[in-house]
């Protein structure tokens, strides 16, 4: 397999036969419209269950070790409401991130009829994903776990058992934000509890025995610290990605594929759904309705891929290009 300069094979790119569309048949059961999106990946399902378990563990310790036994009712009620509300929003965001189609490209749409219907003009190319037989629109990438091409794919996150892409990035950002907030809140409460209970008799501080109470609180501290660091770094990275309109994958490929970016505010508004409002923080309100793909979204300009004119393609570039059929020509 070798790469040849773009101008040598532009003609064959435009021929649907080159992309071997006869090998692509739409899936026999496309699935009824509106079926729930759920990735059947054992590791992802296990990670998602662990996530829920850890949130519920924190909930248990905060309520039954710290707040309910406390005699300061105002402190308990206010902190109880804040913590439970944040935990509920975190789990709701988790469900939405997991069960929302991140922007999957229709499987098996790289058929001869479909490529012909696009009526490619000189200088235009389409990219076929050989793994899921779909035509890749710009900024779509194939995910080997989801086994689909995902529009604006950022990364596949096993903790939410789904890809983070165009349609669910908002939920993922909210999930990392609410987890960071409940971790911080739990750490502050543990701090107060230790301070308060060192001064008083331990038996008045918790309904559990002192050793059990200490172990439960130390485990919560450890969990809170770990998740605070992990989710705030993730939150920062995601906000940076949205503001610079560049996904994690694009950041890795930037050197080879320079591209035009949208303004940062426009990108933020598109991700969170319209002008700034409290609904940005609401996991039950979706981002902008996903726009159906138009014909021109499938087609890309060969000229924009300036580096393909270079005959000296490095090993690294060919690695990246492996899944993009229109770049490759077999030397059979």
In the chain, what is the straight-line distance between the N-terminal and C-terminal CA atoms, in Å?
8
- For residue 143, the minimal CB distance to Zn ion (Å) is 3
Q: Which is nearer to Zn ion, 145 or 187 (CB)?
A: 145
Q: How many angstroms separate the CA atoms of 33 and 194, rounded? A: 53
Interaction of residue 48 with Zn ion, rule CB under 5 A: no
Task: List 156's β-bridge partners, or say none.
Answer: 163
Q: Which is nearer to Zn ion, 102 or 283 (CB)?
A: 102
- For residue 163, the minimal CB distance to Zn ion (Å) is 3
Q: Count of residues binding Zn ion (CB under 5 A)?
A: 10
Q: Which of residues 159-178 bind Zn ion (CB under 5 A)?
A: 163
Interaction of residue 184 with Zn ion, rule CB under 5 A: no
Interaction of residue 155 with Zn ion, rule CB under 5 A: no
CB-based contacts of 314, cutoff 8 Å, min separation 6: none
- CA gyration radius, the chain: 25
On the 0-12 / 13-18 / 19+ scale of CB atoms within 10 A, 63 is: middle
Q: How many angstroms separate the CA atoms of 71 and 234, rounded? A: 37
Q: Tell me which residue has tokens 């993009």.
A: 324
Interaction of residue 90 with Zn ion, rule CB under 5 A: no
Query: Interface with Zn ion by CB under 5 A: which range of 43-51, 153-161, 198-206, 279-287?
Result: 153-161
Interaction of residue 322 with Zn ion, rule CB under 5 A: no
Number of helices (H), then strands (E), belonging to the chain: the values are 10, 8
**Of 287, 289, 293, the residue nearest 268 (C-alpha):** 287
Q: Tell me which residue has tokens 């094979």.
A: 9
- Given the residues 149, 157, 163, 197, select the one marked as catalytic: 157
Interaction of residue 45 with Zn ion, rule CB under 5 A: no
Interaction of residue 145 with Zn ion, rule CB under 5 A: yes
- Of the candidate residues 62, 143, 181, 186, the single one contacting Zn ion (CB under 5 A): 143
**What letter would DSSP give residue 216?**
H
- For residue 209, the minimal CB distance to Zn ion (Å) is 45
Q: Which of residues 288-317 bind Zn ion (CB under 5 A)?
A: none
**C-alpha pair distances (Å), 190 with each of 13, 80, 110:** 63, 13, 56
- For residue 162, the minimal CB distance to Zn ion (Å) is 6
DSSP H stretches of helix in the chain = 6-13, 42-60, 73-99, 112-117, 169-199, 210-243, 248-253, 264-272, 295-298, 315-321
Interaction of residue 234 with Zn ion, rule CB under 5 A: no
Interaction of residue 98 with Zn ion, rule CB under 5 A: no
Q: Quick check: is 157 catalytic?
A: yes
- For residue 64, the minimal CB distance to Zn ion (Å) is 37
- Of the candidate residues 107, 128, 156, 193, the single one contacting Zn ion (CB under 5 A): 156
- Of the candidate residues 146, 160, 216, 302, the single one contacting Zn ion (CB under 5 A): 146
Q: How many angstroms separate the CA atoms of 98 and 159, rounded? A: 9
Query: What is the contact mask toward Zn ion in residues 99 to 138, using x (rule: CB under 5 A)?
Result: ------------------------------x-xx------
Asked whether the beta carbons of 224 and 243 are under 8 A apart, the reply is no
Residues near Zn ion (CB under 5 A) are 129, 131-132, 142-143, 145-146, 149, 156, 163
Q: Enumerate the active-site residues.
A: 157
């Amino acid at each position: 397999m070798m790469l040849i300069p773009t101008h040598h094979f532009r003609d064959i790119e435009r021929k649907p036969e080159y992309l071997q569309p006869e090998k692509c048949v739409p899936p026999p059961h496309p699935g009824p419209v509106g079926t729930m999106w759920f990735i059947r990946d054992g590791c992802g399902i296990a990670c998602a269950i662990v996530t829920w378990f850890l949130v519920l563990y924190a909930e248990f310790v905060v309520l039954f070790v710290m707040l309910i036994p406390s005699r300061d009712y105002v402190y308990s009620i206010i902190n109880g409401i804040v913590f439970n509300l944040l935990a509920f929003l975190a789990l709701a965001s988790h469900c939405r991130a997991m069960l929302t189609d991140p922007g999957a490209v229709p499987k098996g749409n790289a058929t001869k009829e479909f490529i012909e219907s696009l009526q490619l003009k000189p200088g235009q190319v389409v990219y076929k994903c050989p793994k899921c037989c779909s035509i890749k629109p710009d900024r779509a990438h194939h995910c080997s776990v989801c086994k689909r091409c995902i529009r604006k794919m950022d990364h596949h996150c096993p903790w939410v058992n789904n890809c983070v892409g165009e349609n669910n990035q908002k939920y993922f950002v909210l999930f990392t934000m609410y987890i960071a907030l409940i971790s911080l809140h739990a750490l502050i409460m543990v701090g107060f509890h230790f301070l308060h209970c060192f001064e008083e008799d331990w038996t008045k501080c918790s309904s559990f025995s002192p050793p059990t109470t200490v172990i439960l609180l130390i485990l919560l501290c450890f969990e809170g610290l770990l998740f605070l660091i992990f989710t705030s770094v993730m939150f920062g990275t995601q906000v940076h990605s949205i503001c610079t309109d560049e996904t994690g994958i694009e950041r890795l490929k930037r050197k080879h594929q320079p591209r035009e970016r949208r303004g940062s505010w426009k990108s933020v508004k598109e991700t969170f759904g319209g002008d700034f409002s409290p609904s940005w923080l609401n996991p039950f309100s979706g981002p902008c309705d996903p726009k159906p793909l138009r014909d021109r979204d499938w087609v890309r300009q060969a000229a924009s891929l300036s580096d393909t004119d270079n005959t000296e393609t490095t090993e690294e570039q060919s690695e990246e290009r492996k899944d993009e059929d229109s770049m490759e020509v077999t030397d059979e």
